[in-house]
Amino acid sequence: MQCRRGFSLIETLVAIILASIATLALLQAVSTSSRSSNAIISNFDEFQMMALAIGLLDADTEITSLNLDEMVQSRYKIDNSDIIASLQPFSYTLSPSSKETIDPFITSNLAGMAQRPAPLILQKFTISNPQEKKSFFRITSGSL
């Protein structure tokens, strides 16, 4: 009898098929991870732009439509055209609710106080664009 060395053609084909399946599974996992990562980065960018728009609002705003580049340029002098171009696609719709007055000291005994503290004014805003909608609350002090 002759001593057999090496692999047969069938063994080699099975090994190649198994390696191909493992490689395809790995590539699919990397592709899914990459798409998820891009979606997270895009959502984070959108959230950051919404936060910037909210931060630029005045306390008594009556704005219902926000263009981020116009808002930023109305407050700050920006000479960099790349920054201006990156802000232009961000446009939002702002929906304020009615203001609610909250007196945090309504149940306390204020007889000994020289001056009554101002109540808080709470207002809910909804900021949205075609892809996303967020709500936030603004709390300011006011007078009765």
Is 2 contained in some domain? no
- The CA–CA distances, whole Å, from 1 to 13, 30, 79 equal 26, 49, 86
Is 4 contained in some domain? no
DSSP 90: -
- Per-residue pLDDT, 26: 95
pLDDT for 87-100, tens place per residue? 888 888 888 777 88
CA angle 72, 37, 53 (to 5 degrees): 15
pLDDT averaged over every residue in the chain: 80
**What percentage of the chain has pLDDT greater than the value 90?**
19
Is 65 contained in some domain? yes
Is 36 contained in some domain? yes
Number of domains in the chain: 1
Range of the domain at 48: 9-106+117-141
Is 121 contained in some domain? yes
Percent helix / strand / coil, the chain, rounded to 5? 45, 20, 35
- Per-residue pLDDT, 144: 47
Is 3 contained in some domain? no
Rounded to whole angstroms, how far apart are CA atoms 5 and 44?
A: 59
Query: Which segments in the chain show pLDDT lower than 70?
Result: 1-3, 58-63, 104-117, 142-144
Task: Name which of 36, 138, 43, 31 is nearest 94 in CA terms.
Answer: 138
Collapsed DSSP state (helix, strand, coil) of residue 101: strand
